Amino acid sequence: DFAQRRHRMARLTPQSGMIGDYFLSPKGDKLYYTTRAAEGGANLYARDLRDNETKLLVKGVSGGLVADAKGENLLLRAFTYFNLIRVYGKPYYQNAVLSSGVPIKKSSDIKDVPAISTVKEVYDFILSDLKEAARLMKANVIKTNSFTNLQTAWGMLSRVYLYMGGS
């Protein structure tokens, strides 16, 4: 019955502005979200869904809600190394312990020049990054732009194990 739909709608936020990123707490009782501020930037609000109260937490924030930013970065680093090892290294099943792979850079220091790692070491590094990324991205985060998420981490893990050939 579409005629009476307005009476069945519930408003999650008291703001009428455009909502940016939002984050639902793991318990599902709090909604954190950003809205555009009149003075520029955005304001961060917390809405208690049980008590039906909204609080302004921070004025003039920039960026989005990135509860899992480290997980996203680890996933992207693992994705990059996975592509590098597929292009420049031998397949995993061809003696991964002795085959040369690519150097693994773990720091941002420009003077740190790592030695070339074996294919097995690179795949172990990729797996550890992806497992840590999946652990960090457990939160139920919904974003309005293209970001990585928990499902992407699990998909990448399955792809890496597929390329390892069940070893």
Torsion of CA 84, 85, 90, 96, to 10 degrees: 160
Report CA torsion sign: 95, 165, 153, 128.
negative
pLDDT band at 140 (very low <50, low <70, confident <90, very high): low
Average pLDDT across the chain, whole number: 81
What is the spatial order of strands in the sheet that 42-48 belongs to? 53-61, 42-48, 30-36, 19-24, 141-142
CB of 122 within 8 A of CB of 81?
yes
State the pLDDT at residue 134: 86
Gap between the Cα atoms of 161 and 139, Å rounded: 24
- Give me the mean pLDDT over the 96-109 stretch: 93
pLDDT band at 68 (very low <50, low <70, confident <90, very high): low
126 Cβ contact partners less than 8 Å away, ≥ 6 residues apart:
78, 81, 82, 85, 160
Gap between the Cα atoms of 14 and 44, Å rounded: 13
The verdict on pTM exceeding 0.85 is no
- The single residue listed with the structure tokens 């397949």 is 91
- The single residue listed with the structure tokens 């293209």 is 146
pLDDT of 67 over the 50 cut: no
- Give me the mean pLDDT over the 99-120 stretch: 93
